[in-house]
Structures are given as C-alpha cells and as structure tokens.
Amino acid sequence: MLGRLRHPVLRSASFSVCFTYPSTRLTLLRLSVMSRPINTAPIPSTSVAPSNCSKFLTKVPPAEPSQRYDSSDAITPTVYGFFEKETSTWQYVAVDPRTLEAVVIDPVLDYDPSSGKVSTSTADGLLAFMEHNNISVRRILETHAHADHLTAAQYLKQQLGGDVAVCIGEKILQVQQTFAPIYGFDHAAFANTFDIFLKDDEEFKLGDISCRVMHLPGHTPDHLGYVMGKAVFTGDSIFNVSAVIERCLRAQNFLAALTVMIKSPMSAPPVQISLEGVSNIYTPYAFRIAVVAVLVLPLQSQSMQRLLSFPEDHRLFVGHDYPEDRSPSCSATVAEQRASNKHMKDGTEETSFTQWRHDRDAVLGAPRLLHPALQVNVRAGKLPPRDAQGRLFLMTPVKVDPQIVALL
C-alpha cells in the first residue's frame, strides 16, 4: 500500500535564551525548520513493483548512489551507498533484488549549525531514488545514536507511512536515561520514538533475505551491526583502511565513555557508575579518558575482532569516510581490512590497540554536531519538544572557567 503523505509544517523559532543546569550554563540555540512546497504528481517508475515512497517529490531529483554493489547470490542484497559530504556519512539502501523490498540504514537529516536550520534535501533525494526504482521500504535501521549528524529516520517514517519501523539496539534505553537530565528530557519525551529495540543475534527478513543483528559495543553501548548475507553494515565500529584515522576517532572520543554502562559485549548487569562520575560531559577530561581506556577500548577491540572473523570475501560497509585526495569509499572486504586496517590488522594485540587509542583520544576534541545530534538522535530523529510558547530549541552546554563565574 502506498503511504499517504504526512508532511509536517513546523514554524521557525526566532528566539535565544539561556538557563542554568546543575552548575553549568546551557545556551539554547535557535532552531528553524524549512518547509518545502508539496507536489503530489507521481514520479515515473520503471516497473510495476509497488513502492511505499511518497509521490510528492516530482521536482526533487533522485539521489545518485555514490557506490553500488550488486547482489552476488540469493542471500545478499543489492547495496546502494549514498555519501553525505557535509557530515562525511554513508547512508545505505539495501534491496532484495527479487522483491524490491528494502531497508534504509543511517539516513541523514540536514542541519546547519550556524543558522540553526533543519532541512530534508538529503532525505528527499533518497525518497525520490526509491520511488524512481519502485523500492518499498520495510524498516529504517539505526546502527547507534550518532554524535556527528542528525538522523532522518523519523522524517522518512512520516513520509513512508504504513507500518515502516524505526529500529535500534535495545541499549538505547540506557543512552536515553543518561542524556535525559543533561538535555532536560522527561520520560514522555521518549514516547513514540523508536519502534523496535533489537537484541544481539536477533533475526528479521528483508524480502526473501535473512538478516541478523550484531551487538558491537565500544563506540557506543547501543551500537549494532547488520549482517545480510555477505554484506555487513558496521556503523562506526570499524573504518576503511584508507580513512583519515584522526577524524574517524573524533566521534568516539566523547560517546565511548557511555559504554561503561556495559560490563562486557553480551553480559549484564551494567557497571554502576554515577552520571556525575563518568558519563556527565562536565567531568574532568583526564578521568573520562582513563575510564575509556580501562572499560571501553577492550570492548571496541572485541567488536572489531568479531567483524574481522567473517570470511574474507564478506564486505564491511562503514558509517563514515574522510577522503582528502580520493573519492569516498563505503566498504572493504574482510581480507582487505585484515591486511591493512591501522586499528586492528592481523597481528594487532588488544593491549596495543588500547594503548594506541588511548594516546589518540587524549588529543581529540568533540564532534562538531555533538549536542544537536544527540538531542535529536536519542529520540529517533524527532526534534526536541516545543516550549510553552511553541518554540523549538537545541541546547549547547557551556563549560565556564572559574575566573569568570562572577559574570554569570
């Protein structure tokens, strides 16, 4: 069934205020949202296969895949990779070539931090691509709560309609609990956000293709990978052998501290450390790095080793790439990763990896879109609730030097 168009028209907020949270100043940034003219004329399709992608995108050209990998057998989907250059993010549409059913993995919502403007050009291009190719989306899969871009999962769900589910790892519940007090979210803020909370080794169908969930903690506690035949979607658990390592690690520097909530990749109970002790972003930097080194990096190493244990012809699709003098690349085979990955190539011991990561983390800063991304992504792509006056804001916690406290 073709989903009906449900295009929310959001007003632009034009105010800027601030208030104090615990002992820290939080600055609320103006957030404006672009609405676009709606055209309901259908896009011509090339076959009779049904699609649940909205028909209003006639004037939006279909996004061109940056890379494509055709299915090599009956158990592996055709993979279309779309590179979003502003955040260096890979988005994927994985399609069963027989049924044309698809999943969308890690879609991007456009956000300009300077103006506070949110728009949907990237997501609309994906919708137009899928409509043009008669692709029908069944699930939107998040690998984790991203800290470097805003997710378009909720927007795509609204446009697709029907029973399209937004899925993420079950550990997102712990991530939500951690960030709720930091950003002023109450319990109701997380209602009707994610639809399915996935567990390690859980299986689901993509048309006739069997898919499996992998829990890959270390980058974040909720991090998942998705195994679809010989295609493995790794999120930010591993990076391409040619990636600029420093930029790849930047997003891990802050969020990895959250993994202290998990004692081991598969086991519970979580380590009991207070918010003020570890996860709070205002804790001393050196202590946070120490926690990451002791509790997080071994998990990262184990997750990477798990990915590298696949047969050599399996292809690992990554969440980011940072090309400088080349075209962006979305994947490498397991054999290529084992031979050349600077993090965990063959012969790398866990202790060596941990020490190298500890040294690199000590000189890295936070991701550029850290706070806007987290506030939206822990709610599956929903913008923060409006205030009593109907205004939309995103918060930016501000650290204040002791000598200027008197100015507050």
Task: Provide the greatest CA pair distance for the chain.
Answer: 69
215: β partners = 224
Output the pTM of the full model: 0.76
Q: For the chain, what are the domain ranges?
A: 34-379
Q: With beta carbons less than 8 A apart as the criterion, state whether 10 and 392 touch.
A: yes
84: β partners = 89
pLDDT digits (tens, 9 = 90+) for 209-243: 999 999 998 778 899 999 999 999 999 988 886 65
| Each residue's pLDDT expressed in tens, for the chain with a length of 408 residues | 333 334 333 333 332 333 333 333 344 444 544 433 333 333 333 344 567 775 555 578 999 999 999 998 999 999 999 999 999 999 999 999 999 999 999 999 999 999 999 999 999 999 999 999 999 999 999 999 999 999 999 999 999 987 999 999 999 999 999 899 989 899 899 999 999 999 999 999 999 999 999 999 877 889 999 999 999 999 998 888 665 454 444 444 445 544 443 333 333 334 333 333 333 333 444 445 455 555 566 677 788 889 999 999 999 999 989 887 789 999 999 999 988 876 665 555 556 655 555 555 555 567 889 999 999 999 999 998 788 999 999 988 887 888 887 777
Q: What is the fold of 34-379?
A: Metallo-beta-lactamase; Chain A (3.60.15)
pLDDT digits (tens, 9 = 90+) for 66-77: 999 999 899 999
207 is written with which tokens? 């048309």
